[in-house]
């Protein structure tokens, strides 16, 4: 299965969440109850992890998951273009499900005191 592409934009110092429904090639939701997920943002593939998403199965039998970052996590990201992807282990194989570019920008307002 080829990974889908999904580019995202994150504003530094703010909470970020992305909900997605994982579907198979027939457009049917994938039951992800027994899946283990991992998703990271990096400057480039060979660089260290800039930040890792917290992934929650919000409706596992319907393939619905949520990726989230706290304001403190997004504050640590550098402005500019970074890379991200999400991989999953279904118990028999590890697959990349989505990848893309992360565009990080600043707020005008200083969020550090919030």
For residue 114, being part of any structural domain is answered with: no
What is d(CA 8, CA 89) in angstroms, rounded to the nearest whole number? 23
Q: CATH no. for residue 14? A: 2.60.40.10
* Cβ–Cβ under 8 Å, residues 86 and 96: yes
The whole-number pLDDT of residue 45 equals 86
For residue 112, being part of any structural domain is answered with: no
For residue 77, being part of any structural domain is answered with: yes
Per-residue pLDDT reduced to its tens digit, 40-88: 999 988 888 999 999 999 999 999 999 999 999 999 999 999 999 999 9
For residue 14, being part of any structural domain is answered with: yes
Question: Burial letters for 74-101: b for 16+ Cβ neighbours within 10 Å, e otherwise?
Answer: bbebeeeebbbbbbbeeeeeeeebbbbe
Mean pLDDT of 90-111: 94
Q: Between residues 101 and 25, which one has the greater pLDDT?
A: 101
User: Which structural domain range is residue 46 located in?
Assistant: 4-105
Mean pLDDT of 24-53: 94
For residue 111, being part of any structural domain is answered with: no
Q: Give the pTM.
A: 0.90
pLDDT > 90 fraction of the chain, expressed in percent and rounded: 83
Reported confidence tier of residue 1, pLDDT bands at 50, 70, 90 = low
The whole-number pLDDT of residue 83 equals 97
The total number of structural domains in the chain stands at 1
Q: Two tokens at 85?
A: 């992807």
């Amino acid at each position: 299965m080829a990974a889908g592409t999904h580019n995202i934009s994150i504003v530094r110092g703010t909470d970020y969440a992305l909900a997605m429904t994982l579907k198979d090639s027939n457009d049917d939701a994938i039951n992800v109850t027994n899946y283990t997920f991992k998703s990271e943002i990096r400057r480039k593939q060979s660089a260290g992890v800039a930040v890792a998403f917290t992934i929650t199965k919000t409706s596992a039998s319907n393939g619905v998951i949520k990726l989230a970052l706290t304001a403190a996590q997004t504050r640590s990201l550098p402005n500019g273009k970074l890379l991200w992807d999400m991989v999953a282990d279904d118990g028999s194989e590890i697959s990349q499900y989505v990848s893309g570019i992360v565009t990080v920008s600043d707020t005008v307002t200083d969020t550090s005191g919030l």
